[in-house]
Amino acid sequence: MGRKFVAVVGRPNVGKSTLFNKLAGKRIAIVDDKPGVTRDRIYAKAEWLQHEFTLIDTGGIEPKADDIILAQMRRQALIAIETCDVIMFVVDGKLGMTDADNEVALMLRKSGKPVVLVVNKLEKRSEEANLYEFYNLGLGTPIPISATQALGLGDMLDEVVAHFDDVAEEDEDENVVRVAFMGKPNVGKSSLINRLIGEERNIVSSIPGTTRDAVDSYLETEEGQFILIDTAGIRRKSKIKEVIERYSVIRSFAAIEKADVCVLMIDATEGVTDQDEKIIGFAHEQSKALMVIVNKWDLIEKDNNTFEKFKKDIQQDLKFAPYVKFLFISALTGQRANKVMKVVKECYESYNKRISTGVINEVVSQAVLMNEPPIVSNNRLKIYYATQVATKPPTFVFFVNNPQLLHFSYRRYLENQLRNAFGFEGTGIKLIFRERK
Ligand code: GDP
Ligand code: GDP
């Protein structure tokens, strides 16, 4: 089952960031009375009653004029409808209902997506009467909360996760590898996909009723069966650059979530952008299989060192994911394009690899012998036993005396030892530490 996406939508100043931070369990954004404060958080992981989900903040800028607010809210709602499973629509219970609330409610209703209507800033019982006018939005029972006081959040989350069961699971064929192609507009995604699938562009799904223009194509080669997900289509016109960027990043997140292998395409003439780092950071956090394609290699003037230097620079930018596989291609001339699916397959094989428990424990005891865990507050981590509990991504559970004693550098050491022994090139892996009961 894929991780669910929950969008937070609402007018500026209704308290979205405050709520977002409360739910994410830590302050990751600046909440400020002054509008216009730059904030750059897009997603946070959250957990409620055994449900893990990703919260997506569709906002991002603070427009001042009313008409811009409305235009931006429409866009936010669109992003949420397109990419998320459940939408939390936040309104201001102190201020009361506004025209913009009405407009957005209409869009959300039409979309048929599950919506949880959240009325914020209701600290006092006496203010609960303010709740009733929001029934007029036609989005069901409004839920009173106070984000600052953390009141009502439990009821709200119950409502959110109750909708998870309604969300249809897409049919998943175990034998088909899902590959998402990401990267900024014009990097060459469509050119490459067209080259890979040749004439028979075989459209397997375009979801009706949404404006989604990511198109999935089916490809069968000697390497296997694949669905190629093109996350193009971010060329909508907007005067607000930040909105467009956020839109494309959120959309990429949604594609990553569904993919086995994530392919980030980088323009050789531009290098790694902030947006690229966000995307690859998210794929890394989700422990997906990961490949970087440097495209437009034909435009680079080369000498003997060009390739190594390029690779080094990119690896430096992406040093949090040193396992990434690289390929330098030209989608235009076709140079090395025939290698793409081979490398994708290698990444997938790592992602799907299973190691037997006996062998893992040999490697782990050897690792501990060579380099004992450091002493933390007079105590030392003891690893009793390790086992691989899942593939896609490879997930290892270490049973230990006390997970608190794990230092992050030792976690990295163990991951490196597993990687040295078993490869796992081209994929993230997950290490979980549990107390042995
Ligand atoms: P956003 O623009 O929707 O992200 O709103 P913010 O989270 O930045 O909050 C806007 C303002 O509303 C800030 O001054 C917050 O302190 C305030 N605020 C947020 N939540 C509550 C609440 O539950 N009660 C009250 N009284 N104020 C709140
Ligand atoms: P997308 O927006 O990522 O799907 O990018 P497109 O596939 O539409 O390509 C954008 C532009 O870059 C087009 O004009 C392509 O012909 C050009 N392009 C794509 N790949 C290459 C390449 O490898 N080399 C060169 N020189 N141009 C390329």
Ligand 2 binding pocket mutation candidate from 181, 184, 186 (most atoms within 8 A of CB): 186
* Residue 38's pLDDT band (cuts 50, 70, 90): very low
In this predicted model, what pLDDT tens digit does every residue of 170-190 receive, in sequence order? Answer: 556 678 999 999 988 888 888
Picking from 330, 295, 301, the residue whose alpha carbon sits closest to that of residue 187 is 295
| Protein residues with CB under 6 Å of any ligand 1 atom | 10, 12-18, 31, 33, 120-121, 123, 146-148
* 247 pLDDT higher than 70: yes
Pairing relation of β-strands 383-390 and 395-400? antiparallel
Which pLDDT score, from 0 to 100, does residue 336 have? 94
Collapsing DSSP states into helix, strand and coil, what is residue 369?
helix
* 335 pLDDT higher than 90: yes
Q: What is the Cβ-side half-sphere exposure of residue 258, based on CA atoms within 13 angstroms?
A: 27
DSSP 217-266: EEEEETTEEEEEEE--------S-HHHHHHHHHHHHHHHHHH-SEEEEEE
Q: Which ligand is nearest to the CA of 193?
A: 2
Task: Please state the ipTM of this predicted complex.
Answer: 0.75
Residue 119 CB less than 6 A away from ligand 2 = no
Atom number, ligand 2, closest to the C-alpha of residue 187: 3
C-alpha to C-alpha distances, 137 to 86, 90, 115, 259, nearest whole angstrom:
17, 12, 11, 36
Which pLDDT score, from 0 to 100, does residue 48 have? 86
In this predicted model, what pLDDT tens digit does every residue of 72-126 receive, in sequence order? Answer: 777 778 878 877 889 999 999 999 999 889 988 998 999 889 999 999 999 987 7
Residue 395 CB less than 6 A away from ligand 2 = no
Across the chain, mean pLDDT equals: 84
* Residue 215's pLDDT band (cuts 50, 70, 90): low
Q: Which ligand is nearest to the CA of 120?
A: 1
Which pLDDT score, from 0 to 100, does residue 168 have? 56
Pairing relation of β-strands 51-57 and 43-48? antiparallel
Residue 330 CB less than 6 A away from ligand 2 = yes
Place of tokens 């003891």: 382
For residues 4 and 294, the model is more confident at 294
* Residue 306's pLDDT band (cuts 50, 70, 90): confident
| Residue range 386-392: mean pLDDT, rounded | 94
What share of the chain has pLDDT > 70, as a percent? Answer: 85
Which pLDDT score, from 0 to 100, does residue 386 have? 94
In this predicted model, what pLDDT tens digit does every residue of 357-368 receive, in sequence order? Answer: 999 999 999 999
Q: Which amino acid is at 133?
A: E
Residue 214 CB less than 6 A away from ligand 2 = no
For residues 59 and 314, the model is more confident at 314
Q: Which ligand is nearest to the CA of 264?
A: 2
For residues 392 and 248, the model is more confident at 392
What share of the chain has pLDDT > 90, as a percent? Answer: 47
Q: Which ligand is nearest to the CA of 10?
A: 1
Is the Cα torsion angle 327, 330, 331, 334 positive or negative in sign? negative
* Residue 166's pLDDT band (cuts 50, 70, 90): low
Interval between CA 217 and ligand 2 midpoint (Å): 18
Contacting residues for 154 by C-beta, under 8 A, at least 6 apart: none
* 334 pLDDT higher than 80: yes
* Residue 37's pLDDT band (cuts 50, 70, 90): very low
